[in-house]
Amino acid sequence: MRTLPAFLIVLLAAISPPALAAGGEVVELRTAEVVVRGGGRIIEARGSVRITDGRNTVHAGEAVFAVRERRIRLGAGVVVTSPEGTLKAAEAVVLLSGPRRLAGVEASGGVELHTGGRVLRAGRIRYLVDGPQAVASGRVSLLIPPDLVASGEQLTLRGRRATLSGGAKFQNKDGTIEGDTIEVSDHDHVAQARGNVRSTWQQTRISADAATVHARDRTAIFRGRVIVTQPGRTMRTAALTVYYAERRMIAEGDTTIRLEEGGP
């Protein structure tokens, strides 16, 4: 075991096995204290840890680097910054790729990811730094400016699209839509809900097999066994378009309306 002095810069490729250090690229570590164990196979860093590959940078309170496994376990508050965004978490594991780059992050504990103008929060997030691709679980929420919020128990993010499941919900100023799965794009602000779709809008409740929301146009299209419930009436139809800004609905296909006794 070797304990190295404060604020020493360690070029990890230089102490890695030759096969791993090939290519000339390095991962640089700066910290207050470094402990080297097992002939350089394990590196423990404590105090203001900073790790960078020249493109991506990690800050943490402590780190344990398993050189052969190319894994860095981080704790005491973690911040990962890359050109694709910034991730914050209580703890994380950073994975290194073959060419000595920071390739992926497995974070847990109040995780928050800022990428492409979106904010993703979850209990756990697995994140590919150069993607951006992410898989999140545990009370997931995705904020898309200015006012779109998608939530669920699981989320898969690929580029500009996110798919949520497990109590999936989409919400904006016009109301909420829930479904078995919801896919949302921040490029065109379109959300698609599938399976047991339920929506609440003012005093109107809607159920359907599927729905497509065009948030910018403030419209929604419901399809498949659509049921609309309002005070004093129930409507069943094949398809329904809601114009939120105009506060009106248009039904298509076979439609029946039942008026409740004492209704308006």
Work out how many domains the chain is built from and give that number. 1
Q: Is residue 202 over pLDDT 70?
A: yes
Q: What whole-number percentage of the chain has pLDDT above 90?
A: 66
Per-residue 3-state assignment (H helix, E strand, C coil) for 186-218: CCCCEEEEEEEEEEEECCEEEEEEEEEEECCCC
Cα 151-152-154 angle, rounded to 5 deg: 125
Residue 209, domain member (yes or no): yes
Residue pair 125/111 in contact (Cβ under 8 Å)? The answer is yes
In one-letter notation, the amino acid at residue 175 is G
Q: How many Å apart are CA 21 and CA 36, to the nearest integer?
A: 17
Residue 255, domain member (yes or no): yes
* Per-residue confidence (pLDDT) for residue 217, from 0 to 100: 95
Residue 37, domain member (yes or no): no
Domain CATH number, residue 254: 2.60.450.10
- Domain limits at 211? 155-264
Cα 33-35-38 angle, rounded to 5 deg: 165
Q: How far is CA 187 from the centre of its chain?
A: 15
Position with higher pLDDT, 5 vs 220: 220
What is the torsional sign of CA 42, 63, 157, 121?
Answer: positive
Residue 15, CB-side half-sphere exposure with 13 Å CA sphere: 20
Q: How many Å apart are CA 123 and CA 112, to the nearest integer?
A: 9
Q: How far is CA 28 from the centre of its chain?
A: 28
Residue 216, domain member (yes or no): yes
Give the helix/strand (H/E) hosting 12.
Answer: helix 12-15
Least confident of 17-31, 94-108, 168-182, 233-247: 17-31
* Per-residue confidence (pLDDT) for residue 29, from 0 to 100: 85
Q: How many Å apart are CA 59 and CA 203, to the nearest integer?
A: 49
Residue 105: C-alpha distances to residues 72, 96, 241 (Å) = 9, 9, 42
| pTM for the model | 0.86
Residue 122, domain member (yes or no): no
Mean pLDDT of the chain: 88
Pairing, β 85-89 against β 57-66: unpaired
* Per-residue confidence (pLDDT) for residue 263, from 0 to 100: 53
Residue 260, domain member (yes or no): yes
Mean pLDDT of 113-117: 92
Task: Label residue 3 by pLDDT band (50, 70, 90).
Answer: low
Residue 245, domain member (yes or no): yes
Residue 173, domain member (yes or no): yes
